[in-house]
């Protein structure tokens, strides 16, 4: 009986150990999602917010919506857009040929910047999507391992219970021996039940390059986001808070993290640690939510391009 309980204890300790799969560890250590360079820029290189008086008081504001003006400023084409509007608004061109050529040049520059910005957005979104898929794969693997162990423990509990019932039901004639077997199988079932209850496998994941940390801490400049996307995420005006703060607010409202620093936030926004499958799925959701907000910028670029074409 002591040997039986010893085996149960070994099973319990093994079930709680961190998963050690060499191929999976290699997959974790060799992430191919981080293909982008780090960005280095100063605060002075970030776009300057447009004053509301400027947006409301120019002839450009009558042709381009305030949201599109904000996007034009974000990607650095507001000056080009002003010149383009001035040339198109002239009733009597100073030099018709030169004006036409300049209009084409400006339009080409604006279109190039819109397309280039769109490529950068796609690149940043691709990294976030790749990390999301990668983390989800690891979470599914860990969850499958956990479910497989729970199934084995359930079968083990049934076998132990059935064996105890058979032995105490008539196979063992001695009352003392029967009681001992009954107590032993009861302890065995309880141990297996506790093992299932506390069966939370964990896996060690490192993320030195942590985009979620940048969102959480909000430094003045970012090495992981290009300048115009970082400006877009952090821009605030009198009526609306920044997208970065909105993302954090959603994380806290849905219980994904807590505003005050704690063990969980240190795990998500640090350099790594031991994750359960639920925590990995939560991290994947956070990547997905951030990716969605950044990718929506492409829609706003399209709206800007349409409004410019209609000027």
What confidence tens digit (pLDDT) does each residue in 153-166 have?
A: 565 555 555 555 55
* CA–CA distance, 96 with 87 (Å, rounded to integer): 10
197-236 pLDDT tens trace:
455 678 888 888 899 999 999 999 999 999 999 999 999 8
Binning pLDDT at 50, 70 and 90, where does residue 135 land?
A: very high
Q: What is the pLDDT of residue 94?
A: 61
pLDDT per position as a tens digit, 233-255: 999 887 789 999 999 999 988 88
Q: How large is the C-alpha radius of gyration of the chain?
A: 30
Confidence tier at 29 by pLDDT (50, 70, 90): low
Mean pLDDT throughout 61-89?
91
More confident residue, 178 or 260: 260
User: Which carries the bigger pLDDT value, residue 113 or residue 20?
Assistant: 113
């Amino acid at each position: 009986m002591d040997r039986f309980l010893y085996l149960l204890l070994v099973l319990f300790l093994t079930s709680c150990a961190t998963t050690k799969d060499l191929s999976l560890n290699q997959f974790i250590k060799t992430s191919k999602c981080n293909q982008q360079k780090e960005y280095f820029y100063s605060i002075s290189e970030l776009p300057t917010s447009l004053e509301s008086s400027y947006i409301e008081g120019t002839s450009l504001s009558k042709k381009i919506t305030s949201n599109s003006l904000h996007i034009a400023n974000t990607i650095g084409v507001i000056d080009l857009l002003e010149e383009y509007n001035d040339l198109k608004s002239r009733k009597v061109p100073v030099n018709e040929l030169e004006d036409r050529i300049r209009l084409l040049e400006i339009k080409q520059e604006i279109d190039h910047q819109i397309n280039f910005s769109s490529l950068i957005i796609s690149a940043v979104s691709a990294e976030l999507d790749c990390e999301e898929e990668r983390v989800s794969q690891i979470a599914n693997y860990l969850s499958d391992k956990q479910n497989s162990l729970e199934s084995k423990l359930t079968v083990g509990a049934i076998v132990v219970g059935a064996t105890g019932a058979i032995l105490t039901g008539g196979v063992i004639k001695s009352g003392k021996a029967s009681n001992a077997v009954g107590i032993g199988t009861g302890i065995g079932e309880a141990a297996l039940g506790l093992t299932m209850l506390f069966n939370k496998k964990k896996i060690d994941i490192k993320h030195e390059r942590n985009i979620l940390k940048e969102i959480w801490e909000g430094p003045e400049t970012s090495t992981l986001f290009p300048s115009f996307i970082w400006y877009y995420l952090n821009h605030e005006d009198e009526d609306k808070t920044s997208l970065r703060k909105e993302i954090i607010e959603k994380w806290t409202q849905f219980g994904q993290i807590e505003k005050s620093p704690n063990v969980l936030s240190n795990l998500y926004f640090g350099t790594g640690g031991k994750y359960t499958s639920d925590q990995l799925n939560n991290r994947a959701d956070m990547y997905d939510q951030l990716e969605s907000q950044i990718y929506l910028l492409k829609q706003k670029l399209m709206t800007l391009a349409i409004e410019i074409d209609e000027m």
